[in-house]
Amino acid sequence: MEGLCRIAELLPIEGELSEGLRGSLIIMAEKENKTKNFVLRIDADTLAAIEKWAADEFRSTNGQLQWIIAEALKKHGRAKKVKAKSENQ
């Protein structure tokens, strides 16, 4: 966690960060550590259709692709089972 707190030191922000902003930066850093990057080759027509679909649903193209993949995984029973919040509490 100590390394995550240092993210605030790396940002070009003058003055002190509020605790809320510092917490948000830590959460964002933790979230980024759970994602993997990869290159996707896709034809221009398919990408254009995905970009339009994303815009229609107020998502980024990347967010739309993540949603499409997640829905396909659920539909085909390939998604990991996630416990409901009430079960975790």
Q: What is the pTM of this model?
A: 0.55
Per-residue pLDDT reduced to its tens digit, 35-76: 888 899 999 999 999 999 999 999 999 999 999 999 999 999
Structural domains in the chain, CATH included, are 1-35 (no CATH), 38-81 (1.10.1220)
**Dihedral angle of Cα 24, 27, 31, 34, to the nearest 10 degrees:** 160
CA distance 47 to 55: 12
CA distance 71 to 8: 35
* pLDDT of res. 35: 81
Per-residue pLDDT reduced to its tens digit, 21-30: 666 666 666 6
Q: Which residue has the tokens 């959460």?
A: 27
